[in-house]
Amino acid sequence: MLSHYAYNKRWRSRYPNLRHKQKKRYYRKHNYSQAANVKRWSEKEEKLILSPKRPGDVELAKQLSRSVQAIQIKRSRLKKQKNLKEGK
């Protein structure tokens, strides 16, 4: 019996096009920002998305009026910057 992770990994490798469609549908459904409205991230928003006691990404997207994808990308970039500053 496969673990849940192994099963998902195998499924993703067998059906890459279907997985891509699912991701696009998910991000389209949870895009709470205005279409071409690009706004700067405030320090308060950055601290909120890095906070260990933060709400889920979908809830954050609603609160900050940003897309789930934008929040995930920003968190990833902030973590990379933090690791570079610390010399990891």
Q: How many C-beta neighbours within 10 Å does residue 60 have?
A: 21
pLDDT at residue number 62: 92
Distance separating alpha carbons of residues 48 and 44, to the nearest angstrom: 6
- Assessment of whether the complete model's pTM goes beyond 0.75: no
pLDDT at residue number 73: 93
- Mean pLDDT by groups of 10 residues along the chain of 88 residues: 86 89 84 65 93 91 90 93 81
pLDDT at residue number 74: 94
Are 31 and 68 in contact by the 8 Å Cβ rule? The answer is yes
Instruction: Enter the tokens of residue 12.
Output: 């993703």
> Tell me, what amino acid is at 48?
L
pLDDT at residue number 3: 86
Distance separating alpha carbons of residues 61 and 29, to the nearest angstrom: 11
